[in-house]
Amino acid sequence: MIPQTTNQGFVMTEAGTPGVAYGLRGVTVDDTRICKIIGEEGRLYYYGYNILELAERCTYEEVVWLLLHGKLPNKTELAQITKDLKDARGLPFGVRDVIKSAPKTSIPMDVLRTAASALALTDPAPNDNSPEGIVRKAIRLIAQFPEIVAMDYRLRRGEEPVAPNPELDHAANFLYMLHGKAPGKDAARTMDVALVLHAEHSFNASTFTARVIAATLSDMYSAITGAIGALKGPLHGGANEGVIMTLLEIREPANIKPWLEKKFQDKGFRLMGFGHAVYKTLDPRAIVLKKYSKKTGEERGTTKWYEMSDQIEGIMKGREKPLYPNVDFYSASTYYMMGLPPEIYTPIFAVSRVVGWCAHVIEQQAHNKLIRPAANYIGEVDKPFVPMDQR
């Protein structure tokens, strides 16, 4: 029986066996306790806690504990994770050398991917997959990602890297290392909220990549390095950079409509920051980031990029087939107003998401099954071999 296949998702053949699920849509591959998304209703939970509440009431450090341990930290545990993350700061010389030696033509996501891999070479026990070993590696990666991104950022601008500030928490220290001065309270909180919102998102492309690697019982560094490669793509985390490039290209509110009309004449056109494989309505993270885009714009004296984003959202929602903003849409104008350049938006995403990836590596290896899907072979078989001189 030939399977009925479709590129819209999972189908059954007439015989009742599974057909091809292009892009694995609709296929459930494992159990998880980490994250729940209700795509039709635009709801997202980390270990059962609603993202809207976490964004309003938690710090990134609390979310790190939640994702690594499955429960919100009490005061002692929060003090412990805050200390552990600070203690794990300080890039090894080997990794600093890797960053310094990157050609100026390289892009920041490639430097982050290479530096993440190099972290394994400076870890005395990179392949320790014991419960303690795996959490230690997770904390090391989470602590050092901001330093990698900030060091690369400053070197590209011809500036000296800035050492971490032990007085500052994760988000504030990240901004401090980027800009070379301690951020104001509002900027630190905006970055903290952005990190909370991007920390985890179930079996998305980069997380699934991490789980596939983890499922071979490979090490945490390999899984995270692979995940960075997946996040880089413009259909995944790379979209936030695409959003700001779009806004800068449109330039003025008056250009929005003609720009969109012209672009949508091309059937294959994808507007960055819109649509989602799981959400069929507004992404809850976009609701929060929209507020921060407006607030940050007001603080910086121009809400132009926020307003343009809002207008684009309105047009896209009003189309025959409505499309809604995803997490990348309003993070772009928020970061831009914070004085951050487009090329580090996807690395900032990774600075946050690394904790989600680590949580999934831990969960995968705790109840492991090698991930090995089947393929629908559409070529021929038993072809007569053709000797070289007859080809």
Of residues 143 through 162, those in contact with ligand ACO by CB under 6 A are none
| Burial of residue 103, with CB atoms counted within 10 A of its CB: 0-12 exposed, 13-18 middle, 19 or more buried | exposed
Hey, which residues between 187 and 226 contact ligand ACO (CB under 6 A)? 204
Contact, 231 vs 382, CB < 8 A?
no
CB of 325 to ligand ACO, least distance (A): 9
CB of 98 to ligand ACO, least distance (A): 27
Nearest residue (CB) to ligand ACO, 235 versus 245? 235
Q: Which 8-state DSSP code applies to residue 44?
A: E
**236 vs 300, which CB is nearer to ligand ACO?**
236
Do residues 239 and 272 make contact, with C-beta atoms less than 8 angstroms apart?
A: yes
Cβ of residue 267: shortest distance to ligand ACO, in angstroms?
A: 8
Q: Which amino acid is at 312?
A: I
Sheet hosting strand 49-50, strand order edge to edge = 35-38, 43-46, 49-50
Size of the site for ligand ACO (CB under 6 A): 18
Query: Which of 54-62, 235-243, 360-368, 371-379 is the region at the interface with ligand ACO (rule: CB under 6 A)?
Result: 235-243
Q: Which is nearer to ligand ACO, 137 or 285 (CB)?
A: 285
Active-site residue, from 84, 152, 283, 328: 328
89 Rama sector, left if φ>0, alpha if ψ -120 to 50, beta otherwise: beta
Active site residue 276: yes
Q: Whole-angstrom Cα distance, residue 112 to residue 368?
A: 28
Catalytic residue among 179, 201, 276, 360: 276
Q: What is the 3-state secondary structure (H, E, C) of 233-266?
A: CCCCCCHHHHHHHHHHHHCCHHHHHHHHHHHCCC
Cα(353)–Cα(231) distance, rounded to whole angstroms? 9
Q: Which is closer to ligand ACO, CB of 37 or CB of 98? A: 37
239 is an interface residue for ligand ACO by CB under 6 A: yes
Could you say which of 235, 251, 261, 319 contacts ligand ACO (CB under 6 A)? 235
Q: Could you count the other beta carbons within 10 Å of the beta carbon of residue 67? A: 24
What is the token pair recorded at 239? Answer: 């979209």
* Closest CB to ligand ACO among residues 163, 235: 235
Among candidate residues 240, 205, 201, 195, the one with its CA nearest the CA of residue 226: 205
Helix axes 345-366, 108-121, angle to 10 degrees: 40
Options 57-65, 136-144, 210-218, 229-237: segment touching ligand ACO (CB under 6 A):
229-237
Our finding on whether 108 is near ligand ACO (CB under 6 A) is no
CB of residue 348 vs ligand ACO: minimum separation in angstroms?
12
Dihedral sign, Cα of residue 218, residue 100, residue 169, residue 85:
positive
Of residues 73 and 237, the one with the C-beta less far from ligand ACO:
237
Q: Interface residues for ligand ACO in 316-355 (CB under 6 A)?
A: 323, 326-328
Could you say which of 43, 154, 189, 236 contacts ligand ACO (CB under 6 A)? 236
Tell me the residue nearest to ligand ACO as measured from the CB.
275
Element counts in the chain: helices (H) and strands (E):
16, 3
**E runs forming strands in the chain:** 35-38, 43-46, 49-50
CB of 152 to ligand ACO, least distance (A): 21
Site string for ligand ACO, 255-294 (x = CB under 6 A): --------------xxxxxxxxx-----------------
Q: Which stretch binds ligand ACO (CB under 6 A): 75-83, 135-143, 217-225, 230-238?
A: 230-238
Q: Which residues bind ligand ACO (CB under 6 A)?
A: 204, 235-237, 239, 269-277, 323, 326-328
Catalytic residue numbers read 276, 328
